[in-house]
Structure 1
């Protein structure tokens, strides 16, 4: 039995700097209701949500679901980069909704798969065959790095949490080893996130400066701008290192999780690097797995360009909970 369209839900995407809140009908976000709030203006997330309730004059919500940029355990989410936390009881109290759910932001991206407008996606590597109900994989590139596996089961969609950004960076050559040692100086070892993130591209640029005897520094936006103008510049070379490492890591993850339903790259950095993936050798690095290289053609890779995907995933997740309760 589908969820009645009259049953409205509140959904929120809670980042380290801003919180976006909206109303949803079923798995569809009502885009005209999306509002953005600066976290610095509110002492708690509960206060920001209450502001939205007041701004939109909302009442009679069936449920609420928020996606937070941080770990979620036992129905409680904690922001990594802000002293905010929320649990199901607090979310219900803030919104007046009897049903509440809290997701990690990347889990929300996983729940969005299949609900995002196909026009807001682009193909990076076409799959030889896509099996719709097979496991899927979401890889986030942004302030940090993380993944979410997506499983469609008879009981509903399952998207377990992960902290994959903190696994060890793959080393395939002496050059990779030097990079891993360079980026690992701060935390004792070279993790994937120290290369494949916003600060990661800066570290790759700095490492190349050390390799090439050039002490010029640059921000991530300056690196991306230089890379777009001069592919053979130091920024362009840093971009190639980044893309090929992304391909290698994504290939490792594909073999680890076997996502025959597809791999989706999400996040601001994924969108920014999208135009360079083919030129800089993503597919070649992704498939460079020795005797398994041909097997790697089983996996399709795409980019989700919809900035509202976490809201859509939150809406789809809470709609699924309500639907199961109606059966």
Structure 2
């Protein structure tokens, strides 16, 4: 039996890029390196620096990036970099190259996540192994992507769900939407469900309370831990919107195989979600409230899931190429 091919995988965020080597669908965690994007002109420079340092030769490469991808080309949402499949191939020497949105990579990782990398928030009901699943990422930005299995292949269509219109159901939420519109333009989901979105929720509450001091996201969470009322209200507003958006997307995709939350902001909120009303907002669908209890909801706690998903996607690509 031939040895597993060596591949390079990379996860590009707005601030840092992580690069690693793989064997088959396994990410070699000892090879993971982190590069500060501001120190490099583009992704190709990062990849060349990594290969120069490790001395590795790779057969395939997959890049996951925080931004929309079309036909192997993407532009990062929060960084002035363009990622091109051909440029990745030229920088790495890889014969098989893929470029994914980072949420697509998270979706490709689901089959490889172990129980210790998942926290169950809502149990849902058992479903077929072929049932659709849904990943929702909340971090620097917000996005979501459905995950399908077809003839042994994982299909994760791209999406830009963070830029759909912000759903509102109450007078209070309408005032929040008006605040965002006045300060930041057309209110989208990402204007609440992101790190900066959480800060905007708190700023809106400060305005509601008569101009209190605004705080950054980390300071708001510290204030909440200390029992500060406004910070706790900000968590509840954020959680309610997250639950409602996740419920809306669940009704669109019918992910009976589960909803999977991921991203740095989502993980920071994990200890607060059930207390702050996530389950109630998720199921708040009128006569479809009981229907919503079918969907399990999990939190992905594996910080390397995008790298794992990139490795898994490459493995499937190589099997298809060999068949």
Which TM-score applies when normalising by structure 1? 0.96
Aligned partners of 2:43 and 2:275: how far apart in 1?
Answer: 42
Aligned partners of 2:233 and 2:183: how far apart in 1?
Answer: 23
Q: What secondary structure does 1:294 align onto?
A: helix
Within 5 Å, give how 1:234-313 maps onto structure 2.
234-313=230-309
**Residue 197 of structure 1 aligns with which residue?**
194
1:121-159, Cα deviation, whole Å (9 max, x unpaired): 100000122332111100011111110111111261111
Q: What secondary structure does 1:185 align onto?
A: helix
1:63-110, Cα deviation, whole Å (9 max, x unpaired): 100111111111112222222222222111111111101011111111
Aligned partners of 2:139 and 2:2: how far apart in 1?
Answer: 36
Work out whether 1:119 is the aligned partner of 2:121: no
Within 5 Å, give how 1:157-172 maps onto structure 2.
157-172=154-169
Q: Do the aligned residues in 1 keep the contact of 2:256 with 2:294 (CA within 8 Å)?
A: yes
1:200-255, Cα deviation, whole Å (9 max, x unpaired): 1111111111222242110000001111221x511011101111111111111111
Aligned partners of 1:180 and 1:75: how far apart in 2?
Answer: 35
Work out whether 1:88 is the aligned partner of 2:85: yes
Q: Do the aligned residues in 2 keep the contact of 1:130 with 1:300 (CA within 8 Å)?
A: no
Q: Do the aligned residues in 1 keep the contact of 2:14 with 2:140 (CA within 8 Å)?
A: no
Q: Do the aligned residues in 2 keep the contact of 1:181 with 1:189 (CA within 8 Å)?
A: no
Q: Do the aligned residues in 2 keep the contact of 1:168 with 1:190 (CA within 8 Å)?
A: yes
Within 5 Å, give how 1:117-196 maps onto structure 2.
117-154=114-151, 156-196=153-193
Q: 1:106 aligns with which of 96, 103, 106?
A: 103
Within 5 Å, give how 1:59-70 maps onto structure 2.
59=57, 61-70=58-67
Q: How many residue pairs were aligned?
A: 323
1:18-77, Cα deviation, whole Å (9 max, x unpaired): 111000111110000001111122212111101111111101x22100111111111112
Aligned partners of 2:223 and 2:233: how far apart in 1?
Answer: 11
**Residue 53 of structure 1 aligns with which residue?**
51
1:326 CA drift (Å): 2.1
Aligned partners of 1:228 and 1:312: how far apart in 2?
Answer: 33
1:156-211, Cα deviation, whole Å (9 max, x unpaired): 11111111111111111111111111112244332111111111111111111122
Q: Do the aligned residues in 2 keep the contact of 1:184 with 1:194 (CA within 8 Å)?
A: no
Runs of 4 or more off by more than 6 Å in structure 1?
Answer: none
Moved more, 128-137 or 304-313: 128-137
Which TM-score applies when normalising by structure 2? 0.97
**Residue 71 of structure 1 aligns with which residue?**
68
Instruction: Give the root-mean-square deviation of aligned CA atoms.
Output: 1.4
Structure 1 gap ranges (5+): none
1:16 CA drift (Å): 1.6
Aligned partners of 1:326 and 1:31: how far apart in 2?
Answer: 27
Q: What secondary structure does 2:260 align onto?
A: strand
Aligned partners of 1:155 and 1:115: how far apart in 2?
Answer: 14
Q: What secondary structure does 2:218 align onto?
A: helix
